[in-house]
Amino acid sequence: MKLITKYIIKEHISPFFFALGVIMFILLMNFLVKYIDQIFGKGLPIITIIKLILFNMGWMLALAVPMATLVAVLMAYGRFSADNEITALKSSGISILKIILPSMYLGLFLTATMVYFSDQILPETNHNASMLFRSIRQKKPTLHLEEHIFYNLDKYTFVVGHIERTLPEEWLDLSNLLGPEYYNVKQLDKLRDLAIF
């Protein structure tokens, strides 16, 4: 590999990883803001929360890599132009095509990598994230119960003023909430200010 080719490729690496980090951070913050009320403060183990975030990072990576590539190319060639390095290379007898070729090789490599990632890995991570969400909702029905929110269940409407998360999970399941077992629970005061209409 020629020295100039190595130099051009090297100039793309730092902006690429910087842009990738920034874009991944923005997408991760967007995900956390969207699901913060369902994930945090519900008594979920920290390992489950980490798994959920890691599984959802697959689709974030699929979105972030093309954007980071664009930013890297713009920053690299923008710096070459600002420092008159493109002019120096052209005056040395190097054609513009040879200056662009290293970026095209990188683009082809990233394209092949992302095609494999999107075809083989991304569906698996999306499936795992979906199954984990479903499992959490089944094992922690309190995810659906919020304080001071009205809920409809068959012919009834109810609102819970305060929920103590120490109550056994089965009593907070919407399907069991109005069943006969509910009225036999000795710890009824755990669901405070419950109103059924």
Q: What would the DSSP string read from start to end of 129-162?
A: HHHHHHHHHHH-GGGT--TT-EEEETTEEEEEEE
Tell the burial category of 65 from Cβ atoms under 10 Å away from its Cβ (0-12, 13-18, 19+).
buried
Q: What is the mean pLDDT of the chain?
A: 79
Which of the pair, 183 or 58, is modelled with greater confidence? Answer: 58
| Residues 42, 37: Cα–Cα separation, whole Å | 8
Report, as an integer, the average pLDDT of 73-97: 88
For 110-126, the pLDDT digits (tens) are 999 999 999 999 999 99
Q: How confident is residue 73, by pLDDT bands cut at 50, 70 and 90?
A: very high
pTM comes to: 0.68
Q: How many CB atoms lie within 10 A of CB 127?
A: 12
Q: How confident is residue 193, by pLDDT bands cut at 50, 70 and 90?
A: low
| pLDDT at residue 44, as a whole number | 72
| pLDDT at residue 141, as a whole number | 56
As a whole number of Å, the CA-based R_g of the chain is 27
Percentage of residues of the chain with pLDDT beyond 70: 71
Which of the pair, 34 or 155, is modelled with greater confidence? Answer: 34
